[in-house]
Chains A and B, each alone.
Chain A
Amino acid sequence: MALALETIDLNKHFGGIIASSNVSLKVDKGARHALIGPNGAGKTTLVNLLTGILRPTSGRILLEGADITDVEPHDRVRLGLARTFQINQLFGDLTPLETIGLAVSERHGSGSDWWRLVGSRPGVTDEIVELLAHFRLEDVMHERTAVLPYGRQRLLEIALAFACKPRVLLLDEPAAGVPEVERHEILATIAALPADVTVLLIEHDMDIVFTFADRISVLVNGELFVEGTPEEVARDPRVKAVYLGEEAVHV
């Protein structure tokens, strides 16, 4: 099977701290791949390396076979790699309509268009409407994002990544801090993604991971520790000791 995303011996050092150590991750095209690990395992660092916010100390990153190690973050989006953030990163002064409109315009290549009005292309408007309806944000589309309830902001966070129409989507704890009701909404939306979209899910919640993922990688101390199907990972005694063991202690 072709690879959607691959890292080769990826290292990231912050001074003396090793945040990622020889990570060689392979994500198949169309996979529902989960990345788990205890706090401080380097999951978010890895996402930041993949999306280009951080530059690796050494190693390569391949997107659908093409080397993107030195590609700027915004160009990676254009190449089909989008993400959501663990902590909402939204435009507080813009409305959901403007936020989604912005991302859709950008993808249609009219982002540097300074003469026409926003949404003057019919295709753009239709797409904005589709996304707003899909994430049930129509009723708040004219409100300032900053005043929306947290659950709605979370939906917008994910809608914004969807608006980039990614072929590879990185979800950094999409359901974090979301009330139970809206959590289902978010998970249903993610589950409804087209099968050819590759998803890499970074998640803490084991229920979500085991219902969603068809493949799991475990990251510990910046290293890729174990990789396999959910059954294999669940059975692995080392994972139990390091990761699930830690959870068990809390219980």
Chain B
Amino acid sequence: MTRPLSSTVATYLARRARWTPLEIAFWLLAAATIYLLPGRHLILTEIAILGLFALSLDLILGYAGIISLGHAAFFGFGAYCAGLLAKHEIITEPVVALIVSGLAATVLGFVTSFLVLRGSDLTRLMVTLGVALVLREIANKYSELTGGADGLQGITMAPVLGRFRFDLFGHTAYIYSLVVLFVLFVIARRIVNSPFGLSLRAVKGNPLRASAVGIAVNWRLVAIYTIAAGYAGIAGALLTQTTAFTSLDVLAFERSADTLLVLIIGGTGYLYGGLIGAVIFKLMQDWIANLTPQYWQFWIGLVLVLIVLVGRERVAGWMAPIRALIGRIGRRARRADALGASPGQGG
């Protein structure tokens, strides 16, 4: 009796993390845009970067339940790191500079993670917002280093891996951003399917019980906050590298708020929310800006109000049919497994 059940459980646990056909299709489609939409690589690069940034927020919001209004702190920190590394020719090769910038943001994330451990959602909103505001003011104050309100100018980017030059049409930039996004996505996917990822969901669901099964709740939160900060830093560094420019905007409150909006549009807690949300958000922004160049912020604002009025759950529910479909396919496969492995179970 135990034997077949044991193999069912083992199969299920292995299957949990398997790539679904829908996921594979998603990434094939993303790769196909390289050839199919060569004229749209500039906006696609923006989407990839925004998607990576929203993915980073999803790691803490969707999986650990930490709400943040200041995630741009890490994005901006990574952006300035990459800018300064390139401008002063400290590290010229973009990939190495990207990793170093990400690590710098990771350190900042670790140090500030202790501020979000205590308190309610409201406290966390205020603390994260405060950290980002402080960082922005520091960047503003030390204008001889950061360029202040004028932005960090005079950045020249070396070719990626010493071979691929950034071109005017953004082809290299897009492929570079997409590859970085994919690699980091695969790692994030691995993380959320690990025992560590499962423990995060437990901490989010019920911290009291999580500690009662032996989970060091605070350390898990510190760990994921630190990882997410690194992700955000890499997203910021990508923006600097692909545009050869950075300014105080990267640390702005609007950037944090936009990303939260992106994640709410796409839905939290399944990793694709940030990516899908980024596609919808950027296309909507682009489309509205074409219609009414002066008033596009009005429409974005209106959409924001509508989303809040309609309700978060229902917006995330846009994705529900697709998620349900994935779930149903998965469950059917699992049931088939269970029946195949243990015909005597009668369940």
- List residues of chain B with CB within 8 A of the CB of A125: 6, 9-10, 13
Q: Are A73 and B211 in contact (CB under 8 A)?
A: yes
Known A73-B212, A77-B212, A94-B202; judge A116-B194 contact (CB<8 A).
Answer: yes
Q: How far is the CB of B302 from chain A (nearest CB, A)?
A: 32
The answer to the question of B223 belonging to the interface, with a C-beta cut-off of 8 Å to chain A, is yes
- List residues of chain B with CB within 8 A of the CB of A85: 209, 212
Counting chain A CB atoms within 10 Å of each CB, which of B191, B209, B213, B223 scores highest? B213
Q: Are B9 and A119 in contact (CB under 8 A)?
A: yes
Interface size class of A (residues with CB under 8 A): 35 or more
B-side interface mostly: helix
CA distance A168 to B191 in the complex (A): 33
The answer to the question of A163 belonging to the interface, with a C-beta cut-off of 8 Å to chain B, is yes
CA distance A110 to B5 in the complex (A): 22
Q: Which of B1, B6, B208 contacts A89 (CB 8 A)?
A: B208
CA distance A89 to B197 in the complex (A): 20
Q: Which of A90, A114, A117 contacts B16 (CB 8 A)?
A: A117
Q: Are A78 and B205 in contact (CB under 8 A)?
A: no
CA distance A74 to B214 in the complex (A): 4
Q: Are A129 and B9 in contact (CB under 8 A)?
A: yes
Q: How far is the CB of B107 from chain A (nearest CB, A)?
A: 18
Known A74-B217, A117-B14, A125-B13; judge A111-B347 contact (CB<8 A).
Answer: no
- List residues of chain B with CB within 8 A of the CB of A111: 195-196, 199, 214-215
CA distance A136 to B83 in the complex (A): 59
Interface residues in B227-265 by Cβ distance below 8 A to A read none
CA distance A117 to B193 in the complex (A): 6
- List residues of chain A with CB within 8 A of the CB of B336: none
Q: Which of A93, A106, A117 contacts B13 (CB 8 A)?
A: A117
The answer to the question of A164 belonging to the interface, with a C-beta cut-off of 8 Å to chain B, is yes
Q: Are B190 and A115 in contact (CB under 8 A)?
A: yes
Which residue of chain A has its CB nearest to the CB of B17?
Answer: A117
Q: Are B202 and A74 in contact (CB under 8 A)?
A: no
The answer to the question of B331 belonging to the interface, with a C-beta cut-off of 8 Å to chain A, is yes
The answer to the question of A25 belonging to the interface, with a C-beta cut-off of 8 Å to chain B, is no
CA distance A114 to B194 in the complex (A): 5
- List residues of chain B with CB within 8 A of the CB of A115: 190-191, 194
The answer to the question of B12 belonging to the interface, with a C-beta cut-off of 8 Å to chain A, is yes
Q: Are A118 and B212 in contact (CB under 8 A)?
A: no
Known A89-B209, A90-B206, A117-B16; judge A72-B216 contact (CB<8 A).
Answer: yes
CA distance A118 to B196 in the complex (A): 9
The answer to the question of A69 belonging to the interface, with a C-beta cut-off of 8 Å to chain B, is no
Q: Are B195 and A116 in contact (CB under 8 A)?
A: yes
Q: Are A133 and B199 in contact (CB under 8 A)?
A: no
Counting chain B CB atoms within 10 Å of each CB, which of A92, A118, A138, A164 scores highest? A118
Which residue of chain B has its CB nearest to the CB of A145?
Answer: B205
Q: Are B16 and A118 in contact (CB under 8 A)?
A: yes
Q: Which of B194, B205, B206 contacts A118 (CB 8 A)?
A: B194
Q: How far is the CB of A202 from chain B (nearest CB, A)?
A: 15
- List residues of chain B with CB within 8 A of the CB of A92: 205-206
The answer to the question of B120 belonging to the interface, with a C-beta cut-off of 8 Å to chain A, is no
Known A98-B198, A114-B190, A142-B334; judge A129-B2 contact (CB<8 A).
Answer: yes
Q: Are B223 and A112 in contact (CB under 8 A)?
A: yes
The answer to the question of A126 belonging to the interface, with a C-beta cut-off of 8 Å to chain B, is yes
Q: How far is the CB of B208 from chain A (nearest CB, A)?
A: 6
Instruction: Fill in one digit per residue for B1-24: 1 if any A CB lies within 8 Å of its CB, else 0.
Output: 110011001101110110000000
Q: Are A112 and B196 in contact (CB under 8 A)?
A: yes
The answer to the question of A132 belonging to the interface, with a C-beta cut-off of 8 Å to chain B, is yes
CA distance A126 to B194 in the complex (A): 18
Q: How far is the CB of A22 from chain B (nearest CB, A)?
A: 27
Q: How far is the CB of B317 from chain A (nearest CB, A)?
A: 16
The answer to the question of A21 belonging to the interface, with a C-beta cut-off of 8 Å to chain B, is no
The answer to the question of A155 belonging to the interface, with a C-beta cut-off of 8 Å to chain B, is no
- List residues of chain A with CB within 8 A of the CB of B213: 77, 82, 102-103, 106, 160, 163-164
Instruction: Fill in one digit per residue for A172-206: 1 if any B CB lies within 8 Å of its CB, else 0.
Output: 00000000000000000000000000000000000
The answer to the question of A5 belonging to the interface, with a C-beta cut-off of 8 Å to chain B, is no
Closest 8 CB pairs of A and B: A119-B13, A77-B214, A114-B196, A89-B209, A105-B195, A91-B205, A103-B213, A73-B211
B interface residues with partner A (beta carbon < 8 Å):
1-2, 5-6, 9-10, 12-14, 16-17, 190-191, 193-199, 201-202, 205-206, 208-217, 219-220, 223, 331, 334, 345, 347
New A-B pairs, 8, CB < 8 Å, besides A106-B215, A142-B334: A85-B209, A91-B202, A91-B210, A94-B205, A98-B198, A118-B16, A119-B14, A160-B209
